[in-house]
Amino acid sequence: PLTTPKEMFARGYAEGFAIGGFNVNNMEIIQGIMEAGNLEKSPLILQVSAGARRYAGQGYIIKLMEAALAENDLPVCLHLDHGQNFEICKEVIDGGFTSVMIDGSHLSFEDNIALTKQVVAYAHDRGVWVEAELGQLAGVEDDVDVEHSVYTNPDQAAEFVGRTGCDSLAIAIGTSHGAYKFAGEAKLDFDRLEKIKALLPDYPIVLHGASSVPQEFVDMANQYGAQIAGAKGVPEDLLRKAAASAVCKINIDTDIRLAMTATIRKYLAENPSHFDPRQYLQVARTAVRDMVAHKIRNVLGSSNKI
């Protein structure tokens, strides 16, 4: 059934695992993720960015999710990723989403609080969960391109949650969006995470930009014509450590994109006479399933938690 993340996070916090926030854009991605959730018996968060909503159309996403839920008996949350303003949050809440992110991280502290409070008021009246963000991740997300990250200040995080009433908080501790996360050594600021945890006990923290950019898929894509040299993600052991602490939601988009694209490139290179889209989308869908199942089992720890 369609649910909010409330129970998923409560159990994840208590037992030291996290739920994947998997980005969806089309039918094959939704099907691949749902299949992985079924295989692993894991709760799922399927999330839609503004760009995904523009690409597929909100109506299509909601109908695809209805079809997915009719065929799968799993707790699933339908979440808006990086909502930039009140209106988009309102539109998806009115459409049936169970969770929204209001991303005021590029605003001043006070403006971020004011915007988040406005969304919290509308969402909570309708039983919808609100994720907010404090701090800035470097990298590209939708229309915003941030050059340098601004790590989350723990005292401000506690004040922000107290004043807004948001249900979960995305923080910046060294991750970033996309395939190029670290020029040098990959590291996360766990001391900062622990300070935030101490100031906000039992409070669910969210990690964006948490793809691991597996080298085997970078190599596969490059072998079949891609040019994505120097890509580097968050090592899996760091994500497991975060999941064992206060991090209850780990966002993964880039790894799904890489798995699909590498697989499709290989398929088309090896089958130059094929032109039925079902053939390469089928192998791409299987690649999504395998990637997500791997995350659930080996990184998030959410297998058998339904």
- The DSSP call for residue 2 is B
Token pair listed for 106: 């590029």
Nearer to ligand 13P, 151 or 306 (CB): 151
79 near ligand G3H, rule: CB under 6 A: no
**Applying CB under 6 A, which of residues 142, 159, 189, 236 lies at the interface with ligand G3H?**
142
Q: Is 57 left (phi over 0), alpha (psi -120 to 50) or beta?
A: left
What are the Cα distances from residue 263, in Å, to 37, 111, 169, 284?
21, 43, 34, 6
51 binds ligand G3H (CB under 6 A): yes
300 near 17, Cβ under 8 Å?
yes
In this structure, the dihedral spanned by the alpha carbons of residues 291, 58, 205 and 133, taken in order and rounded to 10 degrees, is 130
49 binds ligand G3H (CB under 6 A): yes
Stretch that binds ligand 13P, among 3-11, 207-215, 235-243, 272-280 (CB under 6 A): 207-215
Angle, helix 86-95 to helix 58-71, in steps of 10 degrees: 40
- Which of 44, 52, 92, 252 contacts ligand 13P by CB under 6 A? 252
181 lies in the site for Zn ion, by CB under 5 A:
no
Shortest Å distance, C-beta 124 to ligand G3H: 24
Q: Which CB sits closer to ligand G3H, 23 or 302?
A: 23
* Active-site pick, 73, 81, 125, 202: 81
Q: Is 67 annotated as a binding residue?
A: no
Amino acid code (one letter) for 205: I
Q: How far apart are CA 250 and CA 183, in angstroms?
A: 22
Angle 190-199/154-164 helices, nearest 10 degrees? 40
263 is in an annotated binding site: no
Backbone angles phi, psi at 170, to 5 degrees: -85, 130
User: Near ligand 13P by CB under 6 A, which window of 52-60, 70-78, 106-114, 250-258?
Assistant: 250-258
Distance (Å, whole) CA 218 – CA 229: 8
Interacting residue with ligand G3H among 12, 18, 23, 29 (CB under 6 A): 23
Q: Which of 52, 65, 262, 287 binds ligand G3H (CB under 6 A)?
A: 52
Question: Any catalytic annotation for residue 125?
Answer: no
Kind and range of the H or E run holding 60: helix 58-71
The window from 25-33, 89-97, 128-136, 251-259 that contacts ligand 13P (CB under 6 A) reads 251-259
User: Contact, 101 vs 26, CB < 8 A?
Assistant: no
Nearest distance, CB of residue 211 and Zn ion, angstroms: 10
Cα dihedral value 25, 95, 84, 47, nearest 10: -40
Interface residues with ligand 13P (CB under 6 A) are 23, 81-82, 177-178, 208-211, 251-255
Instruction: Name the residues annotated as catalytic.
Output: 81
Query: Binding-site residues for dihydroxyacetone phosphate, please?
Result: 178, 209-211, 251-254
Interface residues with ligand G3H (CB under 6 A) are 23, 49, 51-52, 81-82, 141-142, 177, 253
Query: Binding-site residues for Zn(2+), please?
Result: 82, 103, 133, 177, 208
